[in-house]
Amino acid sequence: MEESLDSYIDKGLVKTYLFTAVIWLCIATTVGFLLSIKFWWPAFLNNIPYLAFPRLQMVHVNGVAFAWLFTAFFGVSYYYVPRLTRQKLFWVKGAWLLYFLWNFIVMAAVIELLLGDNKGLPYAEIPIWINYIVVAAVVIYAINMFGTIFTRQENQLYVSLWYLMAAVVWSALNYIIGNWIPYYWATGTEGAMLNGFYFHNVVGMMVTPLGLAIAYYVLPVAADKPIYSHKLSIIGFFTLAFIYPFTGAHHYIYSPIPRWVQTIAIVCSVLLIIPVWVVMTNFFGTMKGKWTKLTESMPVKFIILGSVFYLLTCFQGPLQSLRSMQRVIHFTDWVVGHAHMALYGAFSLFIFAAIYLVWPVVSGKELDKILGSWHFWLGFVGFSIMAMVLWAAGLIQGVLWIAQVPFLNTVWDIQPYWVIRTFAGAMMVSSFFVLLYNMWKTNKESAQSAQAD
């Protein structure tokens, strides 16, 4: 049974995607680490235009979101989609084409951003000529995924596949809306509205469904138990799909965007508690009777920690969209801490769980457990410190601004927190390098033992 499912998978493909993704993760977060130093040592690398703060910032954000998360999402989907459909990938060559295209996109984007070419729109910085190629890449991916799912041999359509299919559609629509309209047509407040719509949907309608698809797949397999409730899966999926796209304007509360749009965004942000808690009930319900797995299985460890962070992020998110919270925390480091909790705390951890599940299959050998524990704990402790420090710094600066303290004084007041953030960030970055080394080592040892046989 297990063997036959494995036969649907192109192991080399999954392996290449995942290894590349982790390399991008290491690069993008190293850039983030360098950035964090510039906060308290502004003279650091400040005379080279290509390493200027804003340019590195754009590389960090886009690198983590598009180079790391999406390469990994593609890679993991080439694993779970064939297994869930009992069907080989519809277009394996297309998957390889996407691999080269996507890495070309990432490298072109890095070079362009370092040269200073950017669109001036948050999270849509990548120059427009690259955006065309991204759309082509999404189309290639869509053909591959829909082709595989439509010709599937398994009658049941598992919830992971719903999230995946919807995410492909959302990604295409959202990417086109967010990158073209505010750049060519939507001026002023309308541009802000669509920018908020776009960049919240990057997280909510692209990263979240693809991440949840992975978690929905990995958790039952790793915990060795079917998902707790199919009904909850349906509720979680459709409430997310309905509510999430309305929340974008909560990034521009108190702006000249019409007040009713802001109110819709706030109400829907609060309503997001529903899909999140539904999904989490489903996950924790699945764990019922299987909690011992938490100590034994690396994938379960990462999924459960990721779920806890997901719960926290999505409780924090609704709260911080409230007008009273916005007064203090908007424009501060608080939001930066929140963003890290979503992208690292929840979705990167889901992907790590998938890597610990998938890598043994595709490379033929279990990942080293001791290195795995280092990866887990360095990342967990580092991230926890970093998030706390950013939230504290954000609150302090927000309150000082309200107290009309001169701007520079507020910067000096939170500089000590930024120093701690750098050390916490270093822990996180080193945890990623541990993972990279672990994957490389396992693969090499597996190849050597295969040769010996």
Residues 221-240 that bind another protein (CB under 8 A): 237-238
Can you tell me the distance from the alpha carbon of 330 to that of 401, in angstroms, rounded to the nearest whole number? 11
Interface with another protein, residue 153, by CB under 8 A? no
**Quick one: which of 5, 111, 402, 447 contacts another protein (CB under 8 A)?**
402
Can you tell me the distance from the alpha carbon of 15 to that of 170, in angstroms, rounded to the nearest whole number? 27
Interface with another protein, residue 203, by CB under 8 A? no
Distance of CA 282 to the CA centre of its chain: 21
CA angle 396, 401, 405 (to 5 degrees): 100
Interactions with another protein, residue window 337-396 (CB under 8 A): none
Nearer to another protein, 47 or 451 (CB): 47
**Quick one: which of 15, 83, 251, 338 contacts another protein (CB under 8 A)?**
251
**Quick one: which of 49, 231, 285, 449 contacts another protein (CB under 8 A)?**
49
Find all residues with CB under 8 Å of 115, minimum gap 6, and list them: 50
Interface with another protein, residue 53, by CB under 8 A? yes
Contact string (CB under 8 A) for another protein, positions 308-327, x = contact: ---------------x---x
Smallest distance, Å, CB 399 to another protein? 10
Stretch that binds another protein, among 15-23, 33-41, 276-284, 304-312 (CB under 8 A): 33-41
| Residue 15: how many other CB atoms lie within 10 Å | 20
Question: Are 289 and 276 spatial neighbours (Cβ–Cβ below 8 Å)?
Answer: no
Stretch that binds another protein, among 9-17, 40-48, 219-227, 269-277 (CB under 8 A): 40-48
Structure-token pair, residue 92: 């394996």
Interactions with another protein, residue window 173-202 (CB under 8 A): 173-174, 177, 182-195, 197
**Quick one: which of 241, 270, 319, 385 contacts another protein (CB under 8 A)?**
241
Interface with another protein, residue 335, by CB under 8 A? yes
Smallest distance, Å, CB 49 to another protein? 5
Q: How far is CA 305 from CA 123, 349, 351, 411, in A?
A: 27, 7, 12, 33
Smallest distance, Å, CB 89 to another protein? 17
Nearer to another protein, 250 or 365 (CB): 250
Cα–Cα nearest to 206, from 249, 253, 240, 239: 240
How many of the chain's residues bind another protein (CB under 8 A)?
A: 90
**Quick one: which of 64, 165, 202, 389 contacts another protein (CB under 8 A)?**
165
Interface with another protein, residue 406, by CB under 8 A? yes
H-run or E-run covering 271: helix 259-271
b/e string for 329-350 if b means 16 or more Cβ within 10 A? Answer: bbebbbbbbbbbbbbbbbbbbb
Can you tell me the distance from the alpha carbon of 198 to that of 180, in angstroms, rounded to the nearest whole number? 11
| Residue 126: how many other CB atoms lie within 10 Å | 25
